[in-house]
Structure 1
């Protein structure tokens, strides 16, 4: 029973109840109840004007205008009483006894049935998941897609920035949904399915919603994981139900987020043909071939793993168009920042182009988070506007982690950390192919005791061999600085993550990128497991593996030696940068430039010793090292 039928039955029950109530509710004055003997006495005293017999009930009016009613005895035919009333000039009438109306009788007779029907409907509704739950045991086969009407979607292409090429690719979808005949007259066929591919946070879902907002059509939204249940056949049933609902709302858009959860290649993993995921995928393939172009249904899916999708999904007639929604470039980041900055009060000193230049590799979601963090910093300081200072602090928090000023370190640990970070910064600054140093800090952030951050001067899409060697040299700079100041016996575990990342870069140079003397050959194959994790399988003989190890060791040793020479030739700058870090705790590119040019570093803006210094309280336990971080050539965490 659908919602319309349920509402009709409910209103019918309410109408019957109200009719019975109003039928029995009399707004006139109720007559006085009196005994039959009293009635006879008033007749004999000539106080009665009219009398009406209705079976055993007697209704009447006194001469003073008041009403009364009484009941005569059943054994008395009242003939003598009627003669007395006639003699006293009483008007005597007769009518049939009052009977309940047909509606009242029907209601009374059907009331138990209505109660049983109401209880049954209540339990059935609960089993189907209630008004909007969809979680009842009877709702397994129902689609969990959430429908947004054309008047509910306020997102348009104006709200999507930084992906101009992708917007151009989907513009014709909007025109088709607005005027399908424009394409059909010429025999053109719009893609039935559009696959949006890109890293997380780049705006795939936002772009799909903007298409519906521009075209003013309903929008069905569902995640790929919502199709899959523990019971075989449930996902296929949900796919059928979703397309049936979509056909009723056509023209419309069906958006399936994270389609790789259900669209992975068949024949891999556990379960074979009886696997629930494969059954769901089969039904999705059938449904996408089961409607015509003129049905006005466009399926849009999003994923960041197009390589694992089944080839049948990507063939013409299904998801035959791929729209790449990649990370924005510097102009795209500026446009995205301007979109989000419209929602917060921005001070005059904030320049979106400068913020965009300092956030390479940020996705749209990262930039939205940046603006939000800057607004939160301003709110904590009770400011009315968001200044550039707050954007810098927000960028540092996102890129380097939150400051842990409450963590206390001994003076010895702070000094060692300062040498370590200064080593990273000096090697990175003096190596020709290395990215410029953005900021150096010995304030603990996250799980690191200190951070050295590098930022490229422009967007970079590939990297040279010499630049990779520069990154390895920069990673070794902290360890070498410790050796130079503490001796080989005094080095700490602070460089564990640096060593891990340097080794990973060298291994990739040899085994994947062909940047070694072994030539342009791949020596390790990445294989996808059923659970989604990657495993590297060595595609080489033991002899070749030994050569690979030798090449890795040679690259690391050569970079270590080069970094050592850089630091030994700039020992004075190492000491100067250490002193600056001990005094200011955080130095930026301008102060680093002063140090590298042999000048005294300028004082940071708004510097206040009383608020910036951390108490030199001894820490008895060493900081835990994060040895499981993925290699990130742009950051040195120690």
Structure 2
């Protein structure tokens, strides 16, 4: 938890109370002057003169701002005292004397000296207090006018109840192994110093979003039991010149006072972008000055004396300045990648402790069905399953809840309100069955788990759920061609059954064309063009959106035509393969499609039993698929 204490010192509290008391007395003395004395009824000045002339006034005290007088009662004795406001009347003493009124001047009030003192002292005190307020907030408070140059880092310390340890982080075993050395140095630095070893000053955590880089940094602080300064790279940048560099200096000054400690900078690329970006060197913008100050601070402090470790996280390491990554600053780069099957299972087990699981829940099956999921995705998956169970008024989370949660994450929310007419529903059914039948035969090891014509997400009118049987990191040429054939299975089914095509296959065509172009320009899977890469090297490995962001290299017109011809040949060969397979199994296509129209969803063993009846192509069809590269330019 944050340990920053915003309470003022005791001496400042006493001064504040004294100041408030004096201010209150001044207000009372200025606006309520009669609150210390007796309440006296007021009368008009004309009534006072009338009573004097009627010989009803016994005595009077004439003051500058008030006249107090006493009248006779019914027995002729002195009675009630009244007051009136005087006017400029030079004949008043004569009138009082002629009517036998005993009069005198009103004595000065007893608290006049005190009021005068407050009137001279309090206004300067108010000015000083306001100025002191801005100065104190600027020196250490948050949000003050003069605190703009102060670091906004949050400080965390070890708390047995809430601290994060390596046991709370799963799926990144290699990264944890790299960081154990940092923890050992913070716990016992003498062992390293005695042998002459120098601990890295900085460790950069790189990886896709949601893989647990920030959580891993907190675990390092929790294991080491040292203060943990956490700040985002964007918090250094303001519109005022010099603010970012000032905050960097203040952050390292605070860290040196609490060493040994850890400084964690999240999203380092916000301030660490290369100074040569944009095609020219130099500049004087605020971000560059902040980066220069960070470089100076990391190069200046002595890690062996101050024991300050700088951890940083980014998913764009290719944009960072080379001076930031050199040895002596960020000495190490630790990859925090998406977990494999074993890692996903461990992550699910950690998050499943927070929910009530049913007896039939198999977390290993869920981990197998979620390839490519990061730690944040798996945490969201468990939460979605728990929400589904609570929505259906169940006491625990079942395997069906997890299955539905996976489909919601992958394909989107069911759109039962999106009603298709009978013709559209029929087209979607044949389209999805075409995907499933082609994928069942030549899917390259993946299994077809479910087909549905219930709309999901923003645009999907139906979907075919294909699940891998194991984690795969390499795909050969035949498997890539099989994937393209499956993508075109829906369009091919429309051609076979209806003799026409619709707009429903637009996304399938886009993905099939992209994959075929990657085969030719990136993977070198072309006998005509040879083992050459015509696509520029991809640097950004962690924010890839699945498209082809990199442009082709400068090639001749003949090479460009050859690339286009090769891509077209691969896609057309896959299209012919899908058409031949569906024509050969025309009756089974009708049977499964009619069943899907009736039930809307077919999954599990029932679907696998139907797809097992699909007859494979003959050798001639396989040869047509393999000879797709023989395109003459």
Same fold (TM over 0.5): yes
Say whether residues 1:204 and 2:213 are aligned partners: yes
Contact 2:436 2:448 in 1 (8 A): yes
Bigger mean CA deviation after superposition, 565-574 or 413-422: 565-574
The superposition leaves residues 182-219 of structure 1 with CA deviations (integer Å, 9 ceiling, x where unpaired) of 21122111110001111111100000001111111111
Structure 2 CA distance, aligned partners of 1:354 and 1:507?
34
Q: Is the 1:146–1:221 Cα contact (8 Å) retained in structure 2?
A: yes
| Contact kept? 1:527, 1:537, Cα under 8 Å | no
Structure 1 position 457 matched with structure 2 position 469: yes
- Secondary structure of the 1:190 match is coil
**Corresponding residue number in structure 2 for 1:592:** 607
Counterpart for residue 65 of structure 1: none
Please give the alpha-carbon distance, in whole angstroms, between the structure 2 residues aligned to 1:149 and 1:296.
16
**Would the alpha carbon gap of residues 185 and 486 (structure 1) be closer, same or farther in structure 2, given more than 3 Å must change?**
same
Change (3 A) 1:16 1:408: closer
Q: Cα distance 1:527–1:212, how it changes in 2: closer, same or farther (>3 A)?
A: closer
- Equivalent residue for 1:471? 483
Report the counterpart of residue 558 of structure 1 in structure 2: 573
Residue 620 of structure 1 is matched in structure 2 by: none
Q: 2:365 aligns with which of 344, 347, 354?
A: 354
Moved more, 463-472 or 11-20: 11-20
Match of 2:17 among 4, 11, 14: 14
- Long gaps (5+) in structure 1: 23-29, 34-98, 600-638
Cα distance change, pair 412–186 in 1 and its aligned pair in 2 (3 A) = same
Match of 2:175 among 166, 172, 177: 166
Q: Which residue of 1 aligns with 2:456?
A: 445
The 5 A counterparts of 1:131-530 are 131-133=141-143, 136=145, 138-151=146-159, 154-269=163-278, 272-293=282-303, 294-431=305-442, 433=444, 435-446=446-457, 447-487=459-499, 490-517=500-527, 518-525=529-536
Contact 1:153 1:212 in 2 (8 A): no
Q: Which is worse superposed, 578-587 or 403-412?
A: 578-587
Shift in CA distance, 231/465, structure 1 to aligned 2, threshold 3 Å: farther
Question: Could you give the per-residue CA deviations for residues 560-615 of structure 1, whole angstroms, max 9, x where no partner exists?
Answer: 1111111111112211221221122122242221212449xxxxxxxxxxxxxxxx
Q: Once the two structures are superposed, what CA deviation does each residue of 1:522-573 show, in whole Å capped at 9, x if it has no partner?
A: 11225889xx995514321111111111111111111111111111111122
CA distance in 2, matches of 1:402, 1:184: 57
> Do the aligned partners of 1:524 and 1:537 also contact (CA within 8 Å) in 2?
yes
Moved more, 588-597 or 511-520: 588-597
Aligned-partner Cα distance in 2 for 1:493–1:525: 32
Q: How many residues align?
A: 520
Aligned-pair distance for 1:436? 1.5
Compared CA separation, residues 188 and 408, structure 1 to 2 (3 A): same
Output the TM-score relative to the length of structure 2.
0.76
Check whether the contact 2:453–2:601 (CA below 8 A) recurs between aligned residues.
yes
Structure 1 residue 117: Cα displacement: 1.9
CA separation of 1:20 and 1:261: change in aligned 2, threshold 3 A: closer
Residue 168 (structure 1) shift? 1.1
Whether contact under 8 Å (1:153, 1:213) holds in the other structure is: no
Q: Does the CA-based 8 Å contact 1:273-1:279 persist in structure 2?
A: no
TM-score for both structures, normalised by structure 1: 0.76
- Offset at 1:503? 0.5
Q: Which moved more, 1:377-386 or 1:429-438?
A: 429-438
Once residues 139 and 591 of structure 2 are traced to their aligned partners in structure 1, the CA distance between those partners, rounded to angstroms, is 69
Deviation at 1:274, TM superposition (A): 1.2
- CA offset at residue 121 of structure 1? 3.2
Comparing 569-578 with 520-529, greater Cα deviation is found at 520-529
Residue in structure 1 matched with residue 563 of structure 2 by the alignment: 548
**Structure 1 residues 278, 31: closer, same or farther in 2, change over 3 A?**
closer
Q: Deviations for 1:61-96, whole angstroms, at most 9, x for unmatched residues? A: xxxxxxxxxxxxxxxxxxxxxxxxxxxxxxxxxxxx
1:108-166 Cα distance to aligned partner (Å, 9 max, x none): 8643333222222345567x5995346x4x33322222222333961111111111111
Q: What is the distance in 2 between the residues matched to 1:551 and 1:471?
A: 17
Aligned to 1:627: none
Deviation per residue, 1:243-284 (Å, 9 max, x gap): 111112211111111112221222122783213222222211
Q: In structure 1, how many angstroms separate the alpha carbons of the residues matched to 2:396 and 2:376?
A: 22
- Cα deviation, residue 104, structure 1: 12
2 CA distance for matches of 1:6 and 1:108? Answer: 29
SS at match of 1:222: strand
> CA 1:500–1:542 in 2, change beyond 3 Å: closer, same or farther?
same
- Stretches of structure 2 lacking an aligned partner (at least 5 in a row): 26-35, 40-109, 615-633
User: 2 CA distance for matches of 1:468 and 1:527?
Assistant: 20
Moved more, 6-15 or 582-591: 6-15
- Superposition RMSD in Å: 3.2
Farther-moved stretch of structure 1 (13-22 vs 273-282): 13-22
Contact 1:212/1:253 (<8 A) preserved: yes
* Cα pair distance change 1:540/1:19, threshold 3 Å: closer
For residues 534 and 325 of structure 2, what CA distance do their matches in structure 1 show? 30
* Counterpart contact for 2:496–2:579, Cα < 8 Å: no
Question: 1:7 & 1:476 partners in 2: Cα distance?
Answer: 76
SS at match of 1:147: strand
1:20/1:104 contact within 8 Å kept: no
